[in-house]
Chain A
């Protein structure tokens, strides 16, 4: 699939078939993520591939609920996690990206560069999955500490984001995008 086609046609998929996913495809998706650039090439990301339905369901239970008309409603992604055969959880090693060797942050972004680096990898993953006919949805609204506990993540790492991985059961909708003119400036901000 052409790069630009992948970028424009990728959608956040929230309904999955429970068709199994070839190991070769999972490998290709993880490799794509891994070939993202990173601060100082530190590659502070770690991927936990969860297939066990019980563990997946426990993790799905940590997703933040939202209030709709005074009712707490489960995030649609929780169902997606239970439906899709795989869940890929992205963790990051803390104190590496954006920090000097002794762990001191080097910029005003503090030690948040792991968020940036993990996202570089996650975007490659989402594109690669799409190019292989698979769906993903980037999930961020969950209880990170609870997920760390469920997955035995050691304290030097933090759970950042996750995505189901599977065959989409729908096309996914196009979320409207701001016009380029709303986000683009020339030479200086606001121009």
Chain B
């Protein structure tokens, strides 16, 4: 698929068919993630591919409910976990990106943003969602979940954290483009407020 077509037509998919997904396609998605740039090429990302329905269900349980004015409803993403054949759990090694070895053996962060693991992981994730879409697969980037609980479900060790959950499967919906701000609202020339 042509790059600009992939970028413009990618959608967040929350309804999936139960159709299996070839390992080859998953690998292509992970390769795409792997080739993202990263702070000093530290590549702090780690990918856990979960297909086991029991593990998927435990992770689905960690998704935060949506708070409506009068009640709470489950996150639509959680329902997707039952049908989707695989979930890529995107983790990151802490203390690498955005830092350098400190004097006492710890890590010294170089900017006011501290650890850049969120930034670097997202560079990989964007490549992954495009790679999935280009192969006719859907994804949605899930951030609202209890990471500590999910980390227990898949044995994430000390020094690593789960950043996001990426269900991957054959879409069961068209996917609507939510409205985007106009370019004029977000592009500034030379200095802010001009």
Contact = CB atoms under 8 A, between A and B. Distances in A.
B30 A113 contact: no
Contacts, number: 230
A48 B120 contact: no
A30 B188 CA distance: 11
A32 B154 CA distance: 35
A35 B192 contact: no
A106 interface: yes
Interface in A116-161: 116-120, 122-124, 126-128, 131, 138, 140-142, 144-145, 151-154, 157, 160-161
Contacts of B187: 30, 46-47, 49
Interface in B123-150: 123, 125-127, 129-131, 134, 141, 143-148
A175 interface: yes
B137 to A, nearest CB: 13
B156 to A, nearest CB: 5
A24 interface: no
B143 A116 contact: yes
B181 interface: yes
Given A3-B1, A49-B188, A123-B126, A115 B119 contact: yes
Contacts of A71: none
Contacts of A3: 1-3, 6, 32, 130-131, 134
A188 B55 contact: yes
Interface residues of A, number: 79
A73 interface: no
Chain A CB within 10 A, most for which of B45, B122, B125, B155 = B122
A28 interface: yes
A33 B46 CA distance: 24
Nearest to B125: A120
Contact of B46 (A30, A120, A140, A185): A185
Contact of A116 (B36, B98, B122): B122
Given A183-B47, A189-B155, A47 B186 contact: yes
Interface residues of B, number: 81
A131 B52 contact: no
A10 interface: yes
Interface in A18-77: 27-28, 30-32, 34-37, 39, 41, 43, 45-52, 55, 64
B25 to A, nearest CB: 12
Q: Which 8 A-B pairs have the closest CB atoms?
A: A119-B122, A123-B126, A175-B41, A115-B118, A116-B122, A119-B119, A3-B134, A115-B119
28 contacts: A7-B127, A10-B35, A31-B183, A37-B10, A37-B12, A48-B188, A48-B192, A49-B190, A100-B67, A106-B144, A107-B64, A107-B144, A108-B148, A112-B113, A115-B113, A118-B122, A119-B119, A124-B126, A138-B37, A140-B98, A175-B37, A177-B34, A178-B34, A183-B30, A185-B47, A185-B48, A186-B49, A189-B48
Interface of A: 1-4, 6-8, 10, 12, 27-28, 30-32, 34-37, 39, 41, 43, 45-52, 55, 64, 91, 98, 100, 106-109, 112-113, 115-120, 122-124, 126-128, 131, 138, 140-142, 144-145, 151-154, 157, 160-161, 175-178, 180, 183-190
